[in-house]
Amino acid sequence: MIKSWLNLLRVRQYYKNLLIFVPLFFGKVSIDAYVLGFVGFIMLCMYSSSGYILNDLIDYKRDKIHKEKKERPLASGVISRRLALLVMLSIVIISSAISYSLGWFFFLCGFGLFVNMTLYSLFFKNIAIADLHFISFNYVLRAASGVFLGTSVLSPWLIFLIFIVALFLGTGKRKADLILLGEKSKQHKRVYHVYTEKFLDWLAIVLLGVLFMSYILYSFMAHGSKFMITIPFFSFIILRYLYLVTEGDVVARKTEYFFKDKQLLIPFIGWVLTSLIALYFI
């Protein structure tokens, strides 16, 4: 049962909320600011868990025909839908009360994350292109919440980059899902009546070009030429991910497994280290 609850809350997806620390890291704030950021991270995890529970409540019938999602707690019947609904409402109330104490704008970002996930689950997951934008906006809200804790300065370039990265990852996930599910994909999500492998391939290529050029411009304009030492690591990461998408690899469908791919993990560590050196030591 513990494992089932962890799956229902999507604890494995909490890494996405680490985006709250991105503006703190690039804003070169003091160590004390990260304490407040950690509290904010916990709140985002609670909000996102609520959104995931709601999504499973809505999709439990479709999940039963998915090769992987049929094992989810609600789809398999391990946890009752009534209990899951009660837990979801309790988490939203508690996280909202704590988030409000952290500041009005942080509360708007945190609660906005739950609202956006709700709108996606109820309506926009069935509208092609719009679904990708709503998912990407979740990432923007996670990053912006770190800014609105009052500990760093908003960088439009950084927020734009996060949005494009999220679009790119979402496109890759849908391509990998098409490869995995085949004809059954249309039964799982209505958007797969619109999305085709050819269209997603073109979309991924366009987003890859925008992402690469945007990162180069951000590196130079926001941090100067010193930050351009991170570009080789960044380019390798996104090209490696594109390859995994074309192969239908599990990492493309579940990005939390990226650590299992050494050709993603090693350059990511290199990117983090070079970013740290460029921002704080050069």
| DSSP structure string for 145-200 | HHIIIIIS---HHHHHHHHHHHHHHHHHHHHHHHHHHGGGHHHH-GGGGT--HHHH
**Nearest to 87, CA basis, from 61, 50, 52, 45:** 50
In CATH, the number for domain 1-143 is 1.10.357.140
pTM for the whole structure: 0.90
What was the pLDDT predicted at 192? 85
Give the pLDDT means over successive 10-residue stretches in the chain (282 positions): 90 94 85 88 96 90 75 86 94 96 92 95 91 95 86 76 95 89 72 89 94 92 88 96 90 87 95 94 84
Q: What is the DSSP string of 227-249?
A: GGGGHHHHHHHHHHHHHHHHTT-
What was the pLDDT predicted at 151? 59
Length of the chain: 282
**Hey, what long-range contacts does 65-71 have (CB within 8 A, 24 or more apart)?**
65/184, 65/187, 65/188, 66/181, 66/184, 66/188, 67/180, 67/181, 67/184, 68/180, 68/253
Where helices occur in 67-129 by DSSP H, the ranges are: 73-76, 81-102, 104-122
Sign of CA dihedral 80, 82, 88, 90: negative
Q: Where are the domains of the chain?
A: 1-143, 155-282
CA 119 to chain centroid, in Å, comes to 16
Q: What would the two tokens of residue 77 be? A: 């019947």
